[in-house]
Chains A and B, each alone.
Chain A
Amino acid sequence: GENVEQHPSTLSVQEGDSAVIKCTYSDSASNYFPWYKQELGKRPQLIIDIRSNVGEKKDQRIAVTLNKTAKHFSLHITETQPEDSAVYFCAASTWDDKIIFGKGTRLHILP
């Protein structure tokens, strides 16, 4: 079946440094790749998404890149701040309209 792999499972960075989270997907028909942020005890919320017709998208300190040939996409957070501490999930659409999630990355921003 379709699968989304996400790495690393835990990431610690110094405040002000950059964080990168990487995902790979298995369904060659995937064409929508959202990223969600989940704070402790809260619901997941979309922070950025990218569709297969573009290779990169930016929104202030957040960017996502997509390599369809390699079936690989990444989330980049620059100038990290304490409020960036959370669990981040990548996801991918499938040929039959599912949205499949990775296992998540717990991001710790160190003071």
Chain B
Amino acid sequence: NAGVTQTPKFRILKIGQSMTLQCTQDMNHNYMYWYRQDPGMGLKLIYYSVGAGITDKGEVPNGYNVSRSTTEDFPLRLELAAPSQTSVYFCASSYGRNTEAFFGQGTRLTVV
């Protein structure tokens, strides 16, 4: 099993550009999450999903969108990139409620 795979690992965007961060898992997990990690600020939840076709906002959803059309994939969309979105983004998945979350290797995004 590959676990949770994120692409790309690094990306530089210009202000106003758009991009999609890809996340896929091969563990048949129902729950998936997107977090952003800023220095000294821990992990902030952007969006999460408890199953295919279901998504919910987390703590910091503004400026982002997600979709969950399959169990395996949970892409994160940035429509109009802003410098405040410079961060490390982690995708995670878990089998169900109150179970261990497995993280991807992260995507380091810089908006200039």
* B61-74 near A? 1/0 per residue, CB < 8 Å: 00000000000000
Cβ A101 vs Cβ B35 within 8 A? yes
Sample of 19 further A-B pairs with CB below 8 A, known A89-B43, A101-B42, A101-B43: A1-B59, A6-B42, A34-B100, A43-B90, A43-B103, A43-B105, A44-B90, A51-B98, A93-B97, A97-B48, A97-B56, A97-B97, A98-B48, A98-B56, A98-B58, A99-B48, A101-B44, A103-B40, A104-B40
Which residues of A have CB within 8 Å of B90?
Answer: 43-44
Which residues of B have CB within 8 Å of A9?
Answer: 40
Which listed residue (B35, B40, B42, B56) contacts A96, Cβ 8 A? B56
Q: How far is the CA of A103 from the CA of B44 in the complex (A)?
A: 9
Q: How far is the CA of A75 from the CA of B101 in the complex (A)?
A: 18
CB distance from A89 to the nearest CB of B (A): 6
Cβ A100 vs Cβ B45 within 8 A? yes
Cβ A103 vs Cβ B98 within 8 A? no
Using C-beta atoms within 8 Å of the partner chain, give the interface range for chain A. 20 to 34
Which listed residue (A1, A34, A96, A103) contacts B101, Cβ 8 A? A34
Of residues 67 to 94 in A, which have CB atoms within 8 Å of B's CB atoms? 89, 91, 93
Cβ A99 vs Cβ B33 within 8 A? yes
Cβ B40 vs Cβ A44 within 8 A? no
Q: How far is the CA of A31 from the CA of B97 in the complex (A)?
A: 10
